[in-house]
Amino acid sequence: MNKNNLAVIVGGTGAIGESIANEISKIGFSDILKIGTKTTPSIDFNNENTILDAIEFVKKKNKPISIFFDATGILHENNVMPEKSLKKIEFEFVKKNFIINAIGPVLLIKHFAPLLDKDEKSVFASLSAKVGSISDNGYGGWYSYRASKAALNQFIKTASIEMKVKNKNAIFVALHPGTVRSNLSEPFQKTNLKIQNPEETAKHLVKIINSIDQSQTGKFFNWDGSEIAW
């Protein structure tokens, strides 16, 4: 990876996103753009124009992107918790999960993939979740979150196939960060789970980004580097 290029982190003001930015700086990148819903430029998935404005900002930097990291996502909001049963499913909450966990990220791929470095390795990574794996679903529940992350996974896999033709140096991966201390996971931090600090998981995830090669595009990785079945 050309470390003189740009690294962009969307969700860069979230718990994991902030730590990813710090870790990317430790591996030698100096031009790191952290984008949140309240930064300048900002990205809010409820408004595609915010992505277009951010693209214009990035284009003015006149250099390609070597790492694009999508650290956005929601699990619960305003005391609405993930659905444990079908009777809890509500249109607005399903819609919100799909907009933030799947539609927003695929719009990021649509608009930012053309700016990935074509001469040397570049990586587009998106934070998914192991519960989005259909083959791993042994417990049920969390309908909207699971389904929206499964949709995100399919978007990444599908984009990786198209991009093999358009940019042979670009790698597209979905990443599971583990259970990480943040507002998102706060209501679900059971004591029997291994909970990592954002700094720890960021170290692991950036190591994956740094070490993967083109043969691993279109894959879903756990924070420890093992592969998760779709």
Ligand X SMILES: NC(=O)c1ccc[n+]([C@@H]2O[C@H](COP(=O)([O-])OP(=O)(O)OC[C@H]3O[C@@H](n4cnc5c(N)ncnc54)[C@H](OP(=O)(O)O)[C@@H]3O)[C@@H](O)[C@H]2O)c1
- The interface mask with ligand X, positions 104-133, x = CB under 6 A, is x----------------------x-x----
Q: Is residue 38 a contact point for ligand X (CB under 6 A)?
A: yes
On whether the CB atoms of residues 146 and 131 are closer than 8 A, the answer is: yes
Applying CB under 6 A, among 97, 133, 185, 217 the residue interacting with ligand X is 185
Residue 87 to residue 230: CA distance in whole angstroms: 27
Nearer to ligand X, 156 or 167 (CB): 156
Q: Is residue 44 a contact point for ligand X (CB under 6 A)?
A: yes
Residue 4 to residue 79: CA distance in whole angstroms: 43
Helices 104-112 and 48-59, axial angle in degrees (round to 10):
30
Strands (E), 108-147: 122-127
With CB under 6 A as the rule, give the number of residues binding ligand X: 30
> Minimum distance from CB of 82 to ligand X (Å)?
11
Report phi then psi at 94, rounded to 5: -60, -45
- The interface mask with ligand X, positions 192-221, x = CB under 6 A, is ------------------------------
Residue 33 DSSP label: E
Q: Is residue 182 a contact point for ligand X (CB under 6 A)?
A: yes
On whether the CB atoms of residues 184 and 74 are closer than 8 A, the answer is: yes
The footprint of ligand X (CB under 6 A) covers: 11, 13-17, 36-38, 43-46, 71-75, 100, 104, 127, 129, 176-177, 179-180, 182-185
